[in-house]
Amino acid sequence: MSVGELLQAALAAALREDAVLAEGLTAVFDALPVRSARPWALVEEPALTDWGTKDAAGREARIAVVLHDTGERPVRLRGLAGAVEQVVAALPAELGEGWRIASLALLRSRVLREGEGRWAALVEFRVRMLRGG
């Protein structure tokens, strides 16, 4: 499995296992769903760049969680976005297959109106990872 797949799977699993998000979301997806009731979350494919050292493979990932909801105002969505931030910040460092998170930072969080009564929240992170021998 690639490090991008490991990261995406770890993020999706952590979001699914969180009690607040399990109560607040209908589903967490790792690919755009054909159909789902709102609110739901999508863990997007990470964009990866090299972050290696002389003696270790490394990757820097930009990965986003996009939440979709309905309502007159995005009050519930803001709470869900905050829960996503907390869950991702608490990710275990070990991803598997020798990959380990070296640093993780929130890059941006934004709520956008998608249309009449429809909202989306983007929560994007930078994750730097190294592979041990």
Pairwise pLDDT comparison (27 vs 1), residue with the higher score? 27
Q: 21, 80 in Cβ contact below 8 A? A: yes
- Give percent of the chain with pLDDT exceeding 90: 98
* Stated pTM of the model: 0.95
Mean pLDDT, range 8-25, rounded to an integer: 98
pLDDT of the residue at 132:
86
Reported as half-sphere exposure (CB side, CA atoms, 13 A), residue 89 has a value of 10
Please report the domains of the chain, with CATH numbers, ordered by start residue.
Answer: 3-131 (3.30.2000.30)
pLDDT of the residue at 60:
98
**What is the DSSP pairing of strand 118-131 with strand 99-115?**
antiparallel
Nearest to 60 by CA among 48, 69, 46: 48
Confidence of residue 99 (pLDDT cuts 50, 70, 90): very high
Which sign, positive or negative, has the C-alpha torsion 67, 72, 76, 78?
positive
d(CA 102, CA 107): 16
Give me the long-range contacts of 109-115 (CB less than 8 A, separation at least 24).
Answer: 109/81, 109/85, 111/74, 111/77, 111/78, 111/81, 113/74, 114/68
